[in-house]
């Protein structure tokens, strides 16, 4: 019938026009042609899961980039606290990299501090690193056999002693380096928590000696500091008396040692100081 055939013809023409419009939308515009709307970027998930870091602390190897000079340019107490959770890296001559998270430090405030090597403002070739720019290593020799590693801070003669690390990478190499310096070789392998639980132990584990004295931690190629990965929650920091400075009078009791509470890698736990922290 004429009315029915006309309706069918109109419907067919409408379907053909719709298919034509769809086809035009899927065609790429000719070279040099005008595209009224820019094509949206295609977001795809990474092919394999990779660690994500802030752009300010990223590096090609996936490890956070080293901390620069600005990080070290703060007073000793603030720096001692800021070190907690950061990662100390040591690259050996063969390219092996050893890493440990800092869990314990001590602050030495300079000439006024009776426990500091710079007490009274004394400057010697031995302690020169304490008077150099923030971030300079001060490595000294004690008891004729051990080394201790400090980093200078703001203030002449002020620095921070690194007391303990949580080993993160290169543990077997650390174990070998520590075992080579043990007084008596009983054949017992050192436990992980024994590798860096003390200032001299961590120097042995990372092969740090007097040759590192006065190096710039912000620029050196063999040792540097990386920004530590964030934890699930903010760690509790304990402020306690420093260790082995009974000769320093009232300064021996000042709470200038800082450590992460609950860390099994800390060298000396102070229960009284922990109770004060919780109070």
Taken in order 119, 215, 217, 84, the sign of the CA dihedral is negative
pLDDT at 185: 60
Could you report the per-residue pLDDT of 19-39, keeping only the tens digit for each? Answer: 444 333 333 333 333 333 333
Q: What's the whole-number mean pLDDT along residues 202-213?
A: 98
Look at residues 171, 210, 206 and name the one whose alpha carbon lies nearest to residue 191: 171
pLDDT class of 5 with cuts at 50, 70, 90: very low
57 CB-contact burial (10 Å; exposed 0-12 / middle 13-18 / buried 19+):
middle
CB atoms within 10 A of CB 134: 24
| Joined tokens for residue 156 | 């002449």
3 state SS for 45-76: CCCCCCCCCCHHHCCCCCCCCECCHHHHCCCH
Q: What's the whole-number mean pLDDT along residues 115-134?
A: 97
Tell me: pLDDT of 202 over 90: yes
* 3-class state of residue 252 by DSSP: helix
Q: Are 26 and 20 in contact (CB under 8 A)?
A: no
> What is the enclosing helix (H) or strand (E) of 165?
strand 159-169
pLDDT class of 78 with cuts at 50, 70, 90: very high
Span of 61-65, 119-123, 252-256, 259-263 with lowest mean pLDDT: 61-65
Measured distance CA(118)–CA(127) in Å, rounded: 7
Tell me: pLDDT of 261 over 80: yes
pLDDT at 123: 96
């Amino acid at each position: 019938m004429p009315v029915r055939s006309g309706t069918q013809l109109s419907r067919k023409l409408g379907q053909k026009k719709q298919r034509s419009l769809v086809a035009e939308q899927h065609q790429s515009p000719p070279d040099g042609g005008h595209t009224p709307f820019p094509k949206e970027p295609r977001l795809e998930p990474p092919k394999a899961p990779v660690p994500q870091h802030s752009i300010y602390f990223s590096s090609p190897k996936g490890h956070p980039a080293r901390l620069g000079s600005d990080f070290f340019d703060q007073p000793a107490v603030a720096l001692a606290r800021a070190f907690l959770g950061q990662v100390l890296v040591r690259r050996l001559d063969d390219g092996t990299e050893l890493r440990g998270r800092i869990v314990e430090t001590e602050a030495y405030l300079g000439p006024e501090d009776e426990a500091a090597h710079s007490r009274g403002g004394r400057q010697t070739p031995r302690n020169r690193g304490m008077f150099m720019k923030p971030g300079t290593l001060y490595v000294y020799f004690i008891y004729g056999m051990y080394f201790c590693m400090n980093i200078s801070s703001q203030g002449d003669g002020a620095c921070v002693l690194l007391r303990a690390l949580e080993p993160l990478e290169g543990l077997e190499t650390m174990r070998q380096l520590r075992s080579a310096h043990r007084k008596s070789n009983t054949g017992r392998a050192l436990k992980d928590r024994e590798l860096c639980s003390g200032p001299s132990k961590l120097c042995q584990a990372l092969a740090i000696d007097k040759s590192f004295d006065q190096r710039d931690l912000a620029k050196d190629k063999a040792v540097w500091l990386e920004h530590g990965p964030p934890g699930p929650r903010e760690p509790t920091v304990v402020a306690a008396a420093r260790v082995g400075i009974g000769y320093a009078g009232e300064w021996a009791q000042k709470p200038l040692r800082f450590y992460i509470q609950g860390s099994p890698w800390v060298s000396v736990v102070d229960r009284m100081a922990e109770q004060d922290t919780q109070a």
